[in-house]
Amino acid sequence: MNKNIHTFLGCDANYEESEMVLFGAPYDGTTSYRPGTRFASAAIRNESYGIETFSPYQEKDLTDYQIFDGGDLELPFGDPVRPLSLIEEFTANVLKDGKFPLMIGGEHLVTLGAMRTVVKQYPDVHIIHFDAHADLREDYLGVKLSHATVMRRCHELVGDNKIYQFGIRSGDREEFLFGNEHVTTCRFDFHTLDAVVEELERKQVPVYLTVDLDVLDPSVFPGTGTPEAGGATFTQLFDALQKVTRLKVVAADMNELSPIYDQSGASTALACKLLREMMLMLMK
């Protein structure tokens, strides 16, 4: 008898044979409003057995692909310096081994850990950022490393005009002013996505895809710390991901599920389904 293995549905490959590595980064230490995203990756793994391995959207099946689920990183809470280092190190190893890193947050700050190593390997990396919030603050109550500043820190890594935001419908005035100068922001929805994808496809640049699930409308995704009305439907997000994954995506994450705030389980179920679809899109 073997020890009890616990992975996301259908992610049964060994590390060596795998093309994609799924892992959890259960850190939410800087969350300023309502914490709980630390529980996301475990919840997604548990609840994934409520969905199927087969996608009737893409006519593909997870069982036809080699995906390794590395479980969750063991991250201390409090000061984010060490969690970010641990994420960076893990992601670097996955990239070094020629595999695709797919991270489940945690709060959005975890993206910075992954980006720190991605930008080393792909200096010209562009970021596609789906979110309700701009996350472009210089600091938050004097703190530089925060879920609310993560895109500002990423901007420091990649430079001007490399970040494309979609679905943004919240931020303070300064964030929008900064955004106007330094990043490309599509407010409220995805209406400029076709043009952006076309441009990046032409440029052949590597892309990091970060999906803050609160880009979705709270009606379809109430299970998040800062629900923000006026967001995308599941189908709109699905379609947007279809477009983005035509690009040369080199790493990705999905974050900000806070399962405890949606006791119906519908938010976690949606995250599971979306993760399945993202994996099937990204595995060419």
The least distance separating a copy of itself from the CB of residue 266, rounded to whole angstroms, comes to: 4
Q: Does 173 bind a copy of itself (CB under 8 A)?
A: yes
Binding to a copy of itself in span 12-31, by CB under 8 A: 14-15, 28-31
Is 131 a known ligand-binding residue? yes
- Find the length of the chain: 284
Q: Which of residues 207-266 bind a copy of itself (CB under 8 A)?
A: 217-220, 222-223, 226-230, 234-235, 238, 260-266
Identify residues 113-172 at the interface with a copy of itself (CB under 8 A). Answer: 140-143, 145-146, 168-172
The torsion angles phi and psi of 210, rounded to 5 degrees, stand at -120, 120
Q: Tell whether residue 135 is among the known ligand binding residues.
A: yes
Residue owning tokens 């990423």: 154
Interacting stretch for a copy of itself, rule CB under 8 A, among 32-40, 158-166, 190-198, 240-248? 32-40
283 binds a copy of itself (CB under 8 A): no
- Radius of gyration from C-alpha coordinates of the chain: 17
Does 269 bind a copy of itself (CB under 8 A)? Our answer is: yes
Give the rounded distance of the alpha carbon of 6 from its chain centre.
Answer: 21
CA distance 120 to 123: 6
Cβ neighbours of 216 (radius 10 Å): 29
- Regarding 85 and contact with a copy of itself (CB under 8 A), the answer is no
Do the annotations mark residue 262 as ligand-binding? Answer: no
CA separation for the pair 28, 147 (Å, rounded): 8
Strand pairing of 60-61 and 54-55?
antiparallel
Cβ-contact 166, 130 below 8 angstroms: yes
Q: How far is the CB of 207 from a copy of itself (least distance, A)?
A: 24
Is 214 marked within a binding site?
yes
Residue type, 8: F
172 is annotated as contributing to ligand binding: no
Sequence ranges of the binding site: 108, 131, 133, 135, 212, 214
Sequence ranges of the binding site for Mn(2+): 108, 131, 133, 135, 212, 214
